[in-house]
Amino acid sequence: MAKTLKVGVIGVGGIAGAHFPGWNESPIAEMVAFSDLDPAVLARRAKEQGVKKTYEKPEDLIADKSIDIVDICTPNMYHAPLAIAALGAGKHVICEKPLAPTPADIRKMIKARDKAKKLLMTAQHFRFQGSSQALKAEIDRGALGDIYHARGWMLRRSGAPTRPGFIQKKHSGGGPCIDIGVHILDLTLWMMGFPKPVTVSGVTKDVLAHKEGAFSNWGGPIPKEFDVEEFAAAFVRFETGATLILEVSWLLNHKSGPGEDMQMWLYGDKGGSHWPSNELLWTCNETRQHYNVQLQNAAQGAPHAKECMAFAEAVMNGGPSPVPAEQSLIVLGILDGLYRSAKAGAEVAPDL
Ligand SMILES: NC(=O)c1ccc[n+]([C@@H]2O[C@H](COP(=O)([O-])OP(=O)(O)OC[C@H]3O[C@@H](n4cnc5c(N)ncnc54)[C@H](O)[C@@H]3O)[C@@H](O)[C@H]2O)c1
């Protein structure tokens, strides 16, 4: 039986493949059209997924009146123009991270969303991982108390994606700061309840990428067109008095295992926590004991699929968006502040 909501996916290269199971599994949404500038990718994906309508030009998919939801999975620099066009054509939009490379772009997307009265969601899939949701539930019931400091990092050794969409600023808008910084920062801020950032002090580096023979385990030699940072770090102060330290890299001589080292530490006035191990830490002054408690029950399921299904449900229920653009504006306010601070060599206020 045909499902109620019709989905068109724009940019059916890499990550779109992780969205497809969500649309296929959803009881209310189904994929009906694909668009990609690369005709070979478009034909391969359409055949693989049994999708009949294909558009080489994304504007033709956006003009397709049968489509209710547009799922944007193109490189970062095309998110805002495509989302604004899709919202203008009366579609709901789910868009890969970062929602856009700058706060100014996100403000334009919010304006288009409000004018269209449609939903806009950033595909922050780590929020849909079982371990994240189990920890968030504990934090929301007060297990840590007020969180006054956080540390988050996502560090890879020889782990730069080498496709132009990531390593050329004209397509990506930036390097690991906005590519993976957006993941760990969004997750950390979500756990903290999105306090308002007031200052950012940041640094960026490109030390290893331009060395003779520099390589990535994920795609061979680092292309000479690599014109983004390879490392970024920041110290952030919030209106609440809380602080945060962020470190991200695609190329760092760090012990990161076969993939990447992604961790988040949260410190509150009642207790601390570590993710992804999902350990909660308390101290009892009366007994002089330390308690380390391991959360045991985390829901299973592929987080990318879960985020697509959650968006379809939100559209059916008339909102709210599971990952609102206002929260992505705060995330990009900090990451854009990191870049501006690195350039200025001084602390800056986020552009919110
Ligand atoms: N959430 C995650 O875990 C995750 C992982 C990887 C990538 N991403 C994000 O997904 C996006 C795409 O990354 P990817 O790895 O899939 O890249 P990719 O290069 O594998 O695929 C992108 C596809 O978009 C197509 N494309 C480019 N510009 C287009 C346009 N204007 N209209 C239509 N098609 C266009 C390309 O031909 C390509 O097939 C990026 O924003 C990236 O940050 C998210």
Percent of the chain with pLDDT over 90: 97
| Per-residue pLDDT tens digits for 7-29 | 999 999 999 999 999 999 999 99
Are 202 and 233 within 8 A, CB to CB? Answer: yes
What separation in Å is there between the alpha carbon of 179 and the centre of ligand 1? Answer: 11
Out of 61, 73, 105, give the residue to mutate to test ligand 1, the one with the largest number of ligand atoms within 8 Å of its CB: 73
State the closest ligand 1 atom to the C-alpha of 124, by its place in the atom list counted from 1.
1
What pLDDT score does 2 carry? 76
Rounded to an integer, the average pLDDT of 205-223 is 95
Are 161 and 180 within 8 A, CB to CB? Answer: no
The letter for the amino acid at 133 is Q
**Distance between CA atoms of 244 and 267, rounded to whole angstroms?**
10
**Distance between CA atoms of 7 and 136, rounded to whole angstroms?**
30
| Per-residue pLDDT tens digits for 225-258 | 999 999 999 999 999 999 999 999 999 999 998 7
Ligand 1 lined by 171 (C-beta under 6 Å): no
Ligand 1 lined by 179 (C-beta under 6 Å): yes
User: DSSP for 35-95?
Assistant: E-SSHHHHHHHHHHHT--EEESSHHHHHT-TT--EEEE-S-GGGHHHHHHHHHHTT-EEEE
Please tell me the total number of residues recorded for the chain in this structure: 352
State the closest ligand 1 atom to the C-alpha of 163, by its place in the atom list counted from 1.
19
Rounded to an integer, the average pLDDT of 172-181 is 98
Are 244 and 212 within 8 A, CB to CB? Answer: no
**Distance between CA atoms of 39 and 43, rounded to whole angstroms?**
6
State the closest ligand 1 atom to the C-alpha of 179, by its place in the atom list counted from 1.
43
Rounded to 5°, angle at Cα 260 from 340 and 196: 40
| Per-residue pLDDT tens digits for 38-81 | 999 999 999 999 999 999 999 999 999 999 999 999 999 999 99
Nearest CA to ligand 1 atom 8: 15
Secondary structure of residue 128 in the 3-state scheme: helix
What pLDDT score does 164 carry? 93
Nearest CA to ligand 1 atom 39: 13
Ligand 1 lined by 15 (C-beta under 6 Å): yes
Nearest CA to ligand 1 atom 5: 15
Ligand 1 lined by 156 (C-beta under 6 Å): no
What separation in Å is there between the alpha carbon of 161 and the centre of ligand 1? Answer: 12
**How does the average pLDDT of the chain come out, rounded?**
97
Query: 146-156 burial by CB neighbour count: b if 16+ within 10 A, else e?
Result: ebbebbbbbbb
Task: Give phi and psi for 164, each to the nearest 5.
Answer: -55, -35
Out of 74, 78, 183, 187, give the residue to mutate to test ligand 1, the one with the largest number of ligand atoms within 8 Å of its CB: 74
What separation in Å is there between the alpha carbon of 75 and the centre of ligand 1? Answer: 4
**CA dihedral for 309, 315, 319, 322, sign (positive or negative):** positive
177 pLDDT band, cuts 50/70/90, is very high
CA dihedral 67, 72, 78, 80 (to 10 degrees): 80
Percent of the chain with pLDDT over 70: 100
259 pLDDT band, cuts 50/70/90, is confident
Pure H helices in 128-241:
130-140, 164-167, 169-172, 176-179, 181-192
Ligand 1 lined by 125 (C-beta under 6 Å): yes
**Distance between CA atoms of 292 and 295, rounded to whole angstroms?**
10
Are 266 and 252 within 8 A, CB to CB? Answer: no
For residue 308, the surrounding DSSP H or E stretch is helix 303-317
CB atoms under 10 Å from CB of 344, counted, come to 11
**Distance between CA atoms of 126 and 183, rounded to whole angstroms?**
7
Residue ranges of domains in the chain, CATH in brackets? 5-126 (3.40.50.720), 127-301+332-344 (3.30.360.10)
**Distance between CA atoms of 186 and 216, rounded to whole angstroms?**
26
What separation in Å is there between the alpha carbon of 170 and the centre of ligand 1? Answer: 14
Nearest CA to ligand 1 atom 6: 15
Look up residue 15 and give its DSSP letter.
Answer: T
Are 217 and 158 within 8 A, CB to CB? Answer: yes
What pLDDT score does 1 carry? 64
Residues 6+ apart with CB under 8 A from 245: 150, 151, 152, 233, 234, 235, 236
What separation in Å is there between the alpha carbon of 260 and the centre of ligand 1? Answer: 20
Question: Does residue 144 carry a pLDDT above 70?
Answer: yes
Ligand 1 lined by 124 (C-beta under 6 Å): no
What pLDDT score does 173 carry? 97
Q: Where do we find the tokens 């653009």? A: 325
Are 214 and 157 within 8 A, CB to CB? Answer: no
